[in-house]
Chains A and B, each alone.
Chain A
Amino acid sequence: MKPNDVILQSVTKVTVIIIFTFSVYLFLNGHHHPGGGFIGGLSTAAAIILLFLAFDIEKVRENFQIDFKKLAALGVLIAIGTGFTGMLAGDPFLTQYFNDKNLPIFGKTELATALIFDTGVALAVIGTAVSIILSISEGDSLWKR
């Protein structure tokens, strides 16, 4: 009999949007409140893992088209690259700059280069967590023996 996942898949389609929104909120919240790159990346990875649970690997892969190992490497490169931009101006490694800008919708906002570093951390965490889960789940025939 073909297994039926209608309830799980319908719940997942609604829930994943909420979890992605919550992870973006946690990510942008990290400068003044609890949150930050690590926990934002982890909750994004939880949403992607929920997608893998409700659907199968190939369906999610053909809709995402992301190599998660390359995503982890890109995150580490971004995090190190923000450190070297401080060195180009003559400051020590990983110097943080911030500036108050008037954005069109948000009004006066404090923009900091720590946000780019956090982006790198979040991408590295997402790539590492999802590629660990994928490489564990691919050993199917080895598990059955």
Chain B
Amino acid sequence: MTFEIIMIVSLCLLTLSILANIYRVVKGPSSADRIQALDAIGINLIAGIAVFSVLLHTHAFFDLILLIGILSFVGTVAFARFTERGMVIKQKDEG
């Protein structure tokens, strides 16, 4: 019983962290702030899924953790390339 209370409290803290990141996404002056806040939201989602799968006594969501990590990495790299070079995929290496 105490264990479940600890898990629920940690989920509430993760929710507060995601809300703080959402404030940065909405308010952030530059687009780099928004990209970094979205990446941090992805990491918080991973932690939330881990706590939920402990709480529900299942290991069915463990694949999802790695999948969200991969997709968050690819998305962040694509956004960073877009803000820095202006295009996501270049046609030919200029060098």
Contacts and interface: CB of A to CB of B under 8 A. Distances in A.
Interface of A: 2-3, 8, 15, 19, 22, 26, 29, 33-35, 39, 43, 46, 49-50, 52-59, 133, 137-138, 140, 143
29 contacts: A2-B95, A8-B77, A22-B67, A22-B70, A33-B63, A34-B61, A35-B63, A39-B67, A46-B71, A46-B74, A49-B74, A49-B78, A50-B73, A50-B74, A50-B77, A53-B74, A53-B77, A53-B78, A56-B92, A56-B93, A57-B91, A57-B92, A58-B92, A58-B93, A133-B89, A137-B87, A137-B88, A138-B91, A143-B87
Classify the secondary structure of A's interface with B.
helix
The 9 closest A-B pairs by CB, nearest first: A137-B89, A56-B93, A56-B90, A2-B95, A52-B89, A58-B92, A50-B74, A46-B74, A34-B60
Contacts of A8: 77
Interface of B: 60-61, 63-64, 66-67, 70-71, 73-74, 77-78, 81, 85, 87-95
A35 B61 CA distance: 10
Contacts of A3: 85
B70 A46 contact: yes
A8 B91 CA distance: 17
Contacts of A46: 70-71, 74
Contacts of A2: 94-95
Given A53-B89, A56-B93, A137-B88, 20 more contacts: A2-B95, A22-B67, A34-B63, A34-B64, A43-B67, A43-B70, A46-B70, A46-B71, A52-B89, A53-B74, A53-B81, A57-B91, A58-B91, A58-B92, A59-B93, A137-B91, A138-B91, A140-B87, A140-B91, A143-B87
